[in-house]
Chain A
Amino acid sequence: MTITRHLDDATLMSFAAGSLPGALAAVAAAHVAMCGRCRGEVAFLERIGGALLGSLPQVAMLRPKPALPEFGGPQEATASPGEVPSGEVPPPLMRIAGASLDSVRWRWIAPGLWHRPLPIRGEGSLHLLKGSPGVSVPEHGHGGSELTLVLRGALLDSSGRYGPGDVADFDEGIEHSPAADATGCICVVANERPTRFRNLLAQLLRPWHGI
């Protein structure tokens, strides 16, 4: 898997800071799990957090220090996970999306398009989306940020091709209507604001006619 489309620097910074809205953080975590480049960036950005934490004015601890034996001894070092997952569902999504894309219970929303809402507390909405070959992922009339991560197949738009692991991270207001390529596509989409997929039927999918 060659990942060429990464998270925006501002998205990476907020992810490392722990301040991305829940749904966006889920997709960012999924991309980071798949992408060595972005893992390195996050590690770098975490140093900023360390520096800021180290410079905070102290607030005294009021209660007595906990008795350590109650908590057991230090654990032995275990092997670092570190492995790039080989499956299609990145580990951060497995618990809510299941381990296999073949066992997702899809809901039909429009010709050639299915979705599966994923439970997420916190801000935003999270969906798996499946498009048949040539079907575009429609604009869905929301505000705020959106992250789209390809899990299977590919998306194509005017800026090129997005394969598995690639993420589309665009500023609000940028025209962007990717379509599934000839093999179809499954992606996970996070929106900062709730998405009303029912409205999608009204703005039916444009078949995709090639670049």
Chain B
Amino acid sequence: MADLLRRIAERADPAAFRELYETYGPRVKAYMIRRGADAGTAEDLAQETLLMVWRKAALYAGDKGSMTTWLFTIARNLRIDRLRREVPWQELPEGRLAQASGDPQPDEAVAEKERQERVQAALAELPAEQQRVVALAYLEGLSHSEISARLGMPLGTVKSRMRIAYQKIRATFENLE
């Protein structure tokens, strides 16, 4: 995937873009639908997301971040932007946040691909009720209160499940060092 990005960044290679588009377009479209967009809008937003990758490939090609994480941040920001233009959502320098913070990156030695796999594995190991809360926040875009209403559980329980899920996922990285 890093190779596709490099080909886009260095040579504006349309074949590389096509491959990227075919691999990720349908996933981003699925994400937009989960966040409440109708099929047409979801496809528009998925196209915009992939075109953003095309335009900004150079920003990202040399980076060690994960492609899906970068795509997620672009898709998320576009969705928020479309929903409510007035939200002063910080234009996050996608994929470069950790570096921008100037903080030491203790897990730098671990390849980003492996990190992503670890997150995936840690997510899969969460108890179902924690997975549910995390998925409702990330994929359906529900706030704490909305999750609380959807699942019929107190707000405090929603928040504590999120915190525990986060701590567990983070802990799998701490064990690495």
Q: Which residues of A contact B (CB under 8 A)?
A: 8-10, 12-14, 17-22, 25-26, 29-30, 32-33, 36-37, 39-40, 42-63, 65-66, 68, 71-78, 80-82, 91-96, 119-123, 144-145, 171-172, 192
A168 to chain B, nearest CB (A): 15
In contact, A50 and B116 (Cβ under 8 angstroms): yes
Q: Which residues of A contact B55 (CB under 8 A)?
A: 71-72, 74-75
Which positions in B face A, CB cutoff 8 Å?
8-9, 12, 14, 17-18, 21, 25-31, 33-34, 39, 42-43, 46-47, 51, 54-59, 61-62, 66-73, 75-77, 79-80, 83-90, 92-93, 96-103, 115-116, 119-120, 123, 134-135, 137-145, 155-156, 158-160, 162-163, 165-167, 169-170, 173
Beyond A50-B66, A92-B89, 5 additional contacts (C-beta under 8 Å) are: A10-B158, A51-B116, A59-B26, A61-B29, A96-B88
A56 contacts B71, C-beta separation under 8 Å = no
Give the 4 A-B residue pairs with the shortest CB-CB distance, closest first. A50-B69, A58-B26, A43-B97, A50-B68
Are A80 and B103 within 8 A (Cβ)? no
Complex Cα gap A145–B57 (Å): 38
Question: Are A59 and B42 in contact, with the CB atoms below 8 A?
Answer: yes
14 pairs, CB–CB < 8 Å, chain A vs chain B: A9-B163, A12-B166, A13-B165, A26-B88, A36-B102, A39-B98, A42-B97, A61-B25, A62-B43, A74-B12, A77-B59, A119-B86, A144-B145, A171-B159
Q: Chain B's interface: helix, strand, loop or mixed, by majority?
A: helix
Tell me how far the C-beta of A122 lies from the nearest C-beta in chain B, rounded to whole angstroms: 4
> Of A13, A68, A145, which contacts B162 at CB under 8 A?
A13
Q: In the bound complex, what is the Cα–Cα distance between A33 and B8 (angstroms)?
A: 30
Residues of B within 8 A of A68 (CB): 12, 14, 17, 54
Q: Are A80 and B163 in contact (CB under 8 A)?
A: no
Determine the chain B residues whose CB is within 8 A of the CB of A51 once the complex forms: 68-69, 116, 119-120, 123
Q: Is B69 touching A49 in the complex (CB atoms < 8 A)?
A: yes
Q: State whether B159 touches A10 (Cβ < 8 A).
A: yes
A170 to chain B, nearest CB (A): 11
Which chain A positions have C-beta within 8 A of B169?
48
A78-B137 contact given A19-B143, A49-B72, A68-B17, CB 8 Å threshold: no
